[in-house]
Copies of this chain bind each other. A is one copy, B any other.
Amino acid sequence: MAESSTRTVERALSLLAIVCDQGSATLGHCARAADLPASTALRLLRTLEGSGFVRKDDDGNYRPGSRIIQLGAQSLSNESLVSLSRESMEALVAETGESVYLSVEGHGGTAIYIAMIEGTHSVRHTNWVGRTIPLSESAAGRVLHNDVPAAGYVVVERGIEADVTAIAAPIRSETKVVAALSLVIPSYRVAEHDIDRYGHQLALAAEVVSSGLGRSTISA
């Protein structure tokens, strides 16, 4: 990708992200967070507002607009990986009872959860669809980084969340890791032999998804 870019657009997108991250923000806050003069930020926010990406509430705070929700949900539902993984994810939940996530590489050294099927236990992982996690400290992140041991899955205990154990396996398309399938389990519920068993089930499920993606067969 060449260097050419458009400063004005970058500034507007930066303001959009600030509003979405904060949930609710004043003009002054947006301007400071984006390091822009107030009048510049106002004009750009006005443009975002006119296009429906942000809205101004009765208190004068800027909030995310319906357009960002619409395009986000639309893009998520059109993501073919989500539909291709649905069946395997549901089977995994049925086998393990634990919550299953699908994640892909996100922006700026992150992984982003793009689908989840909740486990069947009373105590399970809170829905994190749309959230990002650092590539460097998560099981899914390690998988997306192609850092997968011979066992075929990665285990991270006490990574992002202290009381959670995450196991992840790679989904490949033509030998390239394109997504990670992971189990996210409260640590109190997982013993050493569980990890081995779950890991294998996970790697198998990821294999099934991969085979639907035109994965090259590597000769044994």
Binding site for B on A (CB under 8 A): 1-2, 4-6, 8-10, 12-14, 16-17, 20-21, 23, 43-44, 46-53, 56, 64-79, 104-108, 112, 114, 127, 129-132
Contacts and interface: CB of A to CB of B under 8 A. Distances in A.
A76 B73 contact: yes
Given A5-B46, A71-B17, A71-B20, A66 B106 contact: yes
Number of copies: 2
Residue in A2, A43, A47, A75 with the greatest tally of chain B CB atoms within 10 Å: A75
A12 B13 CA distance: 10
B78 A71 contact: no
A56 B2 CA distance: 13
Contact of A130 (B17, B77, B106, B114): B77
Contacts of A4: 43, 46
A20 to B, nearest CB: 4
Given A49-B1, A66-B105, A106-B66, A9 B72 contact: no
Given A9-B44, A12-B12, A44-B6, A130 B69 contact: yes
